[in-house]
Amino acid sequence: NAGVMQNPRHLVRRRGQEARLRCSPVKGHSHVYWYRQLPEEGLKFMVYLQKENIIDESGMPKERFSAEFPKEGPSILRIQQVVRGDSAAYFCASSPTTLGTGETGELFFGEGSRLTVL
Amino acid sequence: GDSVTQMEGPVTLSEEAFLTINCTYTATGYPSLFWYVQYPGEGLQLLLKATKADDKGSNKGFEATYRKETTSFHLEKGSVQVSDSAVYFCALRGSNYQLIWGAGTKLIIKP
């Protein structure tokens, strides 16, 4: 299966702990997006990364949240000192390239990582 | 800026009923338009898309036509099934990389 792989699917943390969510994009895709979805709500953009670069992190909270997409390995979304309000589903999506090269802009989504903060 | 507005849910229908989920957009230029579907407990999947005015996207019995004159991309299906119960998201992608999302419409189909 060459789709977007996210792990863990479910993660439980206590307040103050750290959460690390991993995303392996579709093979050959160099663009990764992270979204957060609260229960019964839509998707909220968090961050857009290319290999070794953060392109847009305008949706990321200023504190405790960070993301990376190293040259080798998966993209990581890291949440430090988690609070109950961080409980949500975190979705990763990938795309092969940006607009202007014939790509229509479809995103390929993983199945999400569901974080529960106790 | 660009935006997408979807009809609020939940939408509850009986099996074999006709479905319409409205989606309108505001954008400069000529965006690409998408419908994504999210089944319970899963990630989003692309359902259909249209890249220019008057294009009709279709998949799994669902259709949507890119109407530039009314800035709409309504999702339709002639006869829904229980298995169509999901959340449906309308989205557009304009001149930059970002997908602009509607809030989602939850669809409940009763047998």
The residue in chain A having the minimum alpha-carbon distance to the alpha carbon of residue B30 is A104
Measure Cα distances from A107 to A10, A99, A102, A110 in Å.
22, 12, 14, 10
DSSP B31-62: -EEEEEEE-TTS-EEEEEEE-STT-EEEETTE
The residue in chain A having the minimum alpha-carbon distance to the alpha carbon of residue B91 is A106
Q: Please, which residues bridge with residue A55 across strands?
A: none
Q: Please, which residues bridge with residue A93 across strands?
A: A33, A109
pLDDT at B110: 96
* Distance in Å, alpha carbon of A103 to nearest chain B alpha carbon: 10
Q: Average pLDDT for consecutive 10-residue bins of chain A (118 residues)?
A: 88 98 92 89 88 91 95 96 96 76 71 95
* Whether A91 and B43 lie within 8 Å, measured CB to CB: yes
Q: Which residues of chain B have pLDDT under 50?
A: none
Residue B66: strand, helix, or coil: coil
The A-side interface with B (CB below 8 A) comprises: 4, 6, 31, 41-43, 45, 48, 55-56, 91, 93, 98-99, 104-112
pLDDT at A85: 94
Q: Please, which residues bridge with residue B58 across strands?
A: B63
Distance of CA B1 to the CA centre of its chain: 20
pLDDT at A99: 47
pLDDT at B56: 97
